[in-house]
């Protein structure tokens, strides 16, 4: 038979989604049964000499948590190279997590694999596309080959099933794109793929027909010999009746040598057949959907999950770790490896493609919210304790509480300025709180404002000092005032029974990179200092205007913004225009309806207010009602005529001397089946962009 290759490598495997259409807890029950069966097959079935337990070590970690008694058995099979695991910890969506998270994923996969042995192939069977720098990351991890299903475009006809994939830095890996994906030989001998999960009989003759059809498809592109048969699929057990199936294949294809092996064995044979330097080269992202869809709609599904993930990644990599590194290097503080390991583990467990993509059931994503909260609370408390080491919340002796010092940390690798809001507690005898001033470590005054003074019974003023963020301080104070009100508030004449709780804003003008600076509080008389590039505010027509030395922004009632860049003299008009269109797709893809309808927020009637008129940081806000079609009609071909009101709040903020305008848009969504986007028309065309994502 002309289509048959000389060599065919059969890789027994399962692809295990830790959570998806079931929760992690339910899938783990299935996982224990599946891995029990895999271990039994490896020990007792000659047709299963090796088994690939997906490309991630987390599933083995999950299994051993439930079956610690199987540890020795697992270690033995991994040591013998028969149970193949890793190299990843989880199989992520690369476009929704940071580059650092991707690197930590690989590192953790290597570290958590039994005996430190991992699969030496960068296997990612089902991720929705691949970032351009993945060849570089794989090479840095000692992996020089890559097996994937999704991402090739029309160039597939030219490069075939195997090619050299080149990253931006020139790193290359041998890329393998299996014909028909990672389930191309799953359920051999069954009429339906899912029958592999049942006790239905395996028909070797049917397996022969299935492989014959697969060989014919492989022959349509270059690189089909040796052939790769991936014998498994999602949550699959080992192939039943593997011996008779292999015997039938050997008889039907006498010129083909069938070998049950690992992906590493296949890669070695491929290289022996054709050296890498004789293969075609592809460079850049793999985002084509030629044979398998990319499902790019998931990049904006369940946006709160994406926002929480970015916040947690930034907290660990841009705040917690840099500050602790500085404390370790400069002050001899112990490196908190255990706590960081726990935080990263929880974060990475939210990075599998079905999790971070937001395409699982609601219960899965509720569990993700809990993991994100664990990461956030761990990281924030680590920073809080570190700052307490640098500047204790309370002095060793009560008299020292009047010597007030605020320490501002800068985790960034460059000097910066910052406008700081803080609630400080002045004990009795500290002087007039309204006269509070701030000086730097050298005694020079810095721009500051006393925003508000409240006098509270001493008990209620104790715990504000220990809170990391001003927002947390303000929220706690607001809770106390709402719940207890007149019982705890004084007028400043109570003497020793009350503290002064002062809301303070000041400019920290020169914070050292990856370090901290001290600022002293005093009520002693002294000069005041005006902030450079101070913000001015006012009303302009129907809008509110914020302006500093670099920018001028006008917020209109409908939430749109006009922004003047003084350096170029260019005005960008109509920014933040909301556009709403129906979505007749599913959890994976956006799809317009047969009769499409789009609604814009332009001209919506709103009320603009200047919320904060401080020269250090000013803010304006508008609220308006955005009437949207309630949902699609039952036939999903058009939007309903009936509308539902969705309240929108747009807030802009500008700091003194800043070149950046902060914009926050909040929508109280009451509509269904729709896609909401914000327009920021630049007014010019560009062939490149700088972005914080991939």
Residue range 251-268, pLDDT digits in tens:
999 999 999 999 999 999
- pLDDT of residue 508 exceeding 80, the answer is yes
- Give the per-residue pLDDT at 1: 46
- pLDDT of residue 466 exceeding 80, the answer is no
pTM across the whole model: 0.94
pLDDT in tens, 621-677: 999 999 999 999 999 999 999 999 999 999 999 999 999 999 999 999 999 999 999
Pairing of strands 674-679, 643-655: unpaired
- pLDDT of residue 402 exceeding 90, the answer is no
Could you give the C-alpha distances from 41 to 47, 69, 77, 370, 387, in angstroms and in order?
A: 8, 18, 11, 37, 54
Supply the DSSP string of 521-563, one letter for each residue. EE-S-----PPTT--EEEEETTEEEEE-SSEEEEE-TTS-EEE
- Give the per-residue pLDDT at 523: 87
pLDDT in tens, 325-362: 999 999 899 999 999 999 999 999 999 999 999 999 99
Confidence of residue 458 (pLDDT cuts 50, 70, 90): confident
- Give the per-residue pLDDT at 489: 86
- pLDDT of residue 462 exceeding 90, the answer is no
The dihedral over CA atoms of 122, 116, 9, 167, expressed in degrees to the nearest 10, equals 20
Pairing of strands 598-600, 570-575: unpaired
Q: What is the rounded CA–CA span in Å between residue 136 and residue 416?
A: 32
Q: Which domains does the chain have, with CATH numbers?
A: 7-238+258-294 (3.20.110.10), 298-390 (1.20.1270.50), 398-522 (2.60.40.1180), 536-679 (2.70.98.30)
Q: Which residue has the higher pLDDT, 131 or 431?
A: 131
Take residue 49 and report the two structure tokens written for it: 């000499």
Q: Is 578 exposed, middle or buried (0-12, 13-18, 19+ CB in 10 A)?
A: buried
- Give the per-residue pLDDT at 586: 93
**Mean of pLDDT values over 538-561:** 97
Take residue 34 and report the two structure tokens written for it: 């599946």
**Of 654, 440, 450, 444, nearest in space to 534 by CA:** 654
Q: Is 474 exposed, middle or buried (0-12, 13-18, 19+ CB in 10 A)?
A: middle
- pLDDT of residue 398 exceeding 70, the answer is no
Q: What is the rounded CA–CA span in Å between residue 373 and residue 395?
A: 31
pLDDT in tens, 95-145: 999 999 999 999 999 999 988 899 999 999 999 999 999 999 999 999 999
Give how far the C-alpha of residue 22 lies from the chain's centroid of Cα atoms, to the nearest Å: 21
DSSP state of 615: S
Supply the DSSP string of 58-92, one letter for each residue. HHHHHHHHH-GGGHHHHHHHHHTT-EE--SBSS-B
The CA R_g of the chain, rounded to the nearest whole Å, is 31
pLDDT in tens, 73-84: 999 999 999 999
303-314 helix and 362-390 helix, angle to the nearest 10 degrees: 20
**Mean of pLDDT values over 474-487:** 88
- Give the per-residue pLDDT at 589: 94
**Of 474, 312, 314, nearest in space to 378 by CA:** 312
- pLDDT of residue 403 exceeding 90, the answer is no
**Of 367, 161, 401, nearest in space to 282 by CA:** 161
φ and ψ at residue 217, rounded to 5 degrees = -70, -40
> In sequence order, what are the residues at sequence separation of 6 or more whose Cβ sits closer than 8 angstroms to the Cβ of residue 539?
545, 608, 610
**Contact criterion met (CB below 8 Å) for 72 and 21:** no
pLDDT in tens, 565-613: 999 999 999 999 999 999 999 999 999 999 999 999 999 999 999 999 9
- Give the per-residue pLDDT at 487: 81
Angle at 685 between CA 684 and CA 686, to 5 degrees: 120
Could you give the C-alpha distances from 258 to 80, 161, 271, 281, 626, in angstroms and in order?
A: 21, 19, 18, 29, 63
Mean pLDDT over the full length of the chain: 94
- Give the per-residue pLDDT at 233: 98
- Give the per-residue pLDDT at 391: 78
**Contact criterion met (CB below 8 Å) for 364 and 20:** yes
**Mean of pLDDT values over 370-387:** 96
Q: What is the rounded CA–CA span in Å between residue 683 and residue 127?
A: 35
Check whether the bond before 656 is cis (ω within 30° of 0). no
Take residue 90 and report the two structure tokens written for it: 């989880």
Q: What is the rounded CA–CA span in Å between residue 210 and residue 206?
A: 6
- Give the per-residue pLDDT at 400: 57
In sequence order, the β-bridge partners of residue 166 are: 172, 283
Could you give the C-alpha distances from 325 to 252, 273, 335, 383, 514, in angstroms and in order?
A: 63, 48, 7, 12, 9
In sequence order, the β-bridge partners of residue 426 are: 500
């Amino acid at each position: 038979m002309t289509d048959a290759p000389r060599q065919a490598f059969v890789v027994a495997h399962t692809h295990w989604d830790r959570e998806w259409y079931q929760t992690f807890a339910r899938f783990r029950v299935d996982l224990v049964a599946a891995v029990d069966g895999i271990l039994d097959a490896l020990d007792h079935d000659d047709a299963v000499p090796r088994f690939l337990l997906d490309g991630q070590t987390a599933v083995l970690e999950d299994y051993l948590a439930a079956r610690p008694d199987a540890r020795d058995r697992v270690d033995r099979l991994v040591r013998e190279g028969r149970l193949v695991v890793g190299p990843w910890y989880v199989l992520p969506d690369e476009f929704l997590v940071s580059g650092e998270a991707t690197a930590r994923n690989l590192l953790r996969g290597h570290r958590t694999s039994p005996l430190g042995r991992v699969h030496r192939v960068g296997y990612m069977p089902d991720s929705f596309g691949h970032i351009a720098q993945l060849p570089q990351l794989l090479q840095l991890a000692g992996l020089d080959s890559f097996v994937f299903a999704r991402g090739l475009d029309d160039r597939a006809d030219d490069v075939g099933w195997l090619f050299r994939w080149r990253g931006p830095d020139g790193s290359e890996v041998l890329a393998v794109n299996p014909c028909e994906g990672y389930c191309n030989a799953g359920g051999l001998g069954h009429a339906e793929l899912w029958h592999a999960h049942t006790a239905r009989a395996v028909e070797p003759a049917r397996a022969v027909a299935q492989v014959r059809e697969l060989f014919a498809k492989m022959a349509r592109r270059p690189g089909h010999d040796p052939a790769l048969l991936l014998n498994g699929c999602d949550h699959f057990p080992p192939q039943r009746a593997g011996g008779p199936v292999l015997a039938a294949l050997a008889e039907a294809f006498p010129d083909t040598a069938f070998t049950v092996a690992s992906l590493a064995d296949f890669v070695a044979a491929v290289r022996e057949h054709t050296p890498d330097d004789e293969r075609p080269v592809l460079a850049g992202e793999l985002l084509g959907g030629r044979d398998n869809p990319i499902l790019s709609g998931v990049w904006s599904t369940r946006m709160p999950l994406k926002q929480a993930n970015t916040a947690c990644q930034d907290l660990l990599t841009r705040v917690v770790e840099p500050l602790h590194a500085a404390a370790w290097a400069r002050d001899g503080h112990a490196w908190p490896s255990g706590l960081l390991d726990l935080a990263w583990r929880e974060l990475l467990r939210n990075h599998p493609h079905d999790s971070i993509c937001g395409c699982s059931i609601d219960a899965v994503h509720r569990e993700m919210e809990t993991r994100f909260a664990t990461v956030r609370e761990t990281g924030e408390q680590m920073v809080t304790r570190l700052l307490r080491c640098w500047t204790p919340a309370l002095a060793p002796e009560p008299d020292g509480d009047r010597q007030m010092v605020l320490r501002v940390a800068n985790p960034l690798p460059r000097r910066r300025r910052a406008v700081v809001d803080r609630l400080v507690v002045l004990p009795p005898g500290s002087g007039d709180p309204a006269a509070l001033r701030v000086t730097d470590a050298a005694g020079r005054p810095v721009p500051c404002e006393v925003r508000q003074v409240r006098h509270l019974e001493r008990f209620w003023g104790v715990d504000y000092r220990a809170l990391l963020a001003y927002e947390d301080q303000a929220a706690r104070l607001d809770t106390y005032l709402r719940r207890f009100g007149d019982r705890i508030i004084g007028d400043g004449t109570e003497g020793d029974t009350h503290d002064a709780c002062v809301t303070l804003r000041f400019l920290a003008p020169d914070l050292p990179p990856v370090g901290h600076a001290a600022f002293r509080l005093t009520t002693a008389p002294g000069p005041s200092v005006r902030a450079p590039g101070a913000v001015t505010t006012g009303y302009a027509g129907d809008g509110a205007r914020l302006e500093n030395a670099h920018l001028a922004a006008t917020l209109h009632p409908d939430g749109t913004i006009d922004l003047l860049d003084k350096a170029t003299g260019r005005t960008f008009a109509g920014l933040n225009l909301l556009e709403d269109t129906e979505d007749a797709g599913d959890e994976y893809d956006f799809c317009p309806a047969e009769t499409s309808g789009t609604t814009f927020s332009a001209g919506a009637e709103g009320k603009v207010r200047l919320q904060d008129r401080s020269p250090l940081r000013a803010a304006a806000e508008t609220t308006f009602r955005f009437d949207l079609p309630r949902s699609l009609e039952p036939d999903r071909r058009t939007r309903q005529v009936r509308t539902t009101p969705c309240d929108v709040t747009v807030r802009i903020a500008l700091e003194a001397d800043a070149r950046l305008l902060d914009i926050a848009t909040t929508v109280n969504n009451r509509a269904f089946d729709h896609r909401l986007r914000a327009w920021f028309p630049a007014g010019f065309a560009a062939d490149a962009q700088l972005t914080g994502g991939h």
